[in-house]
Amino acid sequence: MSNFFVLSLGGSMVSLPQGINIDFLKKFKNLIKKRVNEGDKFIIVVGGGFNARNSIKEAKKINNLLDSDSQDWIGISATHLNANIVKSVFGDMAHPVLINNPGVKIRSKKSLLFSGGYLPGNSSDFVCSVLAKTYNVKNIINISNIDYVYDKDPKKNKDAKKIEEMNWSDFLKIVGGSWTPGLNSPFDPLASKFCQKENKTVVILNGDNLSNLNNYLSAKRFKGTKIYGK
């Protein structure tokens, strides 16, 4: 039985300070190719990661009054670069061009569609959420560099507790309700509000454990955080 997944691939899994994460992309390709051969289809939305944050930082050194929209456009460009890099890994398995408007459904016989950011004011997570609505997909997979959502920053608080299931209202209390360019959050607050309204479910998984991602895709027990409901 084939399935259709919307997958938000965090830029932190692709774009690192030392360059493109080649090891991850090789493993990611093998897993997705295996799933496609079994009949699954994916829309993969790629974030900006280090490319986005570093480019915004450097631009602000030249113009420290750089407005929010300008910062967002830089970040969006970084997501497009990363998305094209990931798309190129899959060759002719992928639709040849990125989706340019998440609100418009395109026709493609390819098993893989790719997208990056869209407009200022939100992130690639928001694009992913709109695509889930456009293609009538209930569940969104968010691949980043964390195992779970925690009740507070585990890097700063040793007593932070992991959360395996939660509703959108509780998640928004943790991440806040506003977007800023280059924001590093488990899931974009504006995308979270959209998913809450549209009754979408987001599962947050660590991309360093691709066998765990395969467990989720196979409807097996997995390690991560599931956010749903209101």
CATH assignment at residue 60: 3.40.1160.10
The helix, strand and coil proportions of the chain, stated in percent and rounded to the nearest 5, come to 40, 20, 40
**What string of H, E and C letters represents the secondary structure of 171-203?**
HHHHHCCCCCCCCCCCCCHHHHHHHHHHCCEEE
Tell me what pLDDT residue 181 has.
Answer: 61
Domain that holds residue 146: 4-228
Which of 1, 3, 2 lies closest to 138, judged by CA? 3
Tell me what pLDDT residue 155 has.
Answer: 81
Instruction: Say how far apart CA 59 and CA 215 lie, in whole Å.
Output: 41
Q: Which helix (H) or strand (E) holds 43?
A: strand 41-46
Instruction: Say how far apart CA 113 and CA 90 lie, in whole Å.
Output: 11
Tell me what pLDDT residue 121 has.
Answer: 83
- What is the separation of C-alpha 187 from the centre of its chain, rounded to a whole number of angstroms? 8
Mean pLDDT in order along the chain per 10 residues (230 residues) = 86 91 95 95 94 93 93 94 97 96 95 95 89 95 90 86 95 80 75 94 93 94 93
Tell me what pLDDT residue 183 has.
Answer: 62
List the structure tokens of 125.
């997570």
Q: Is the pTM of this model over 0.85?
A: yes
What does DSSP say about strands 15-16 and 19-20: parallel, antiparallel, or unpaired? antiparallel
E strand map for 58-169: 112-115, 139-144, 149-150, 162-163, 165-167
Instruction: Say how far apart CA 126 and CA 115 lie, in whole Å.
Output: 11
* Total structural domains within the chain: 1
Tell me what pLDDT residue 180 has.
Answer: 67
Burial profile 207-220: b = 16 or more Cβ within 10 angstroms, e = fewer: bbebebbebbbeee
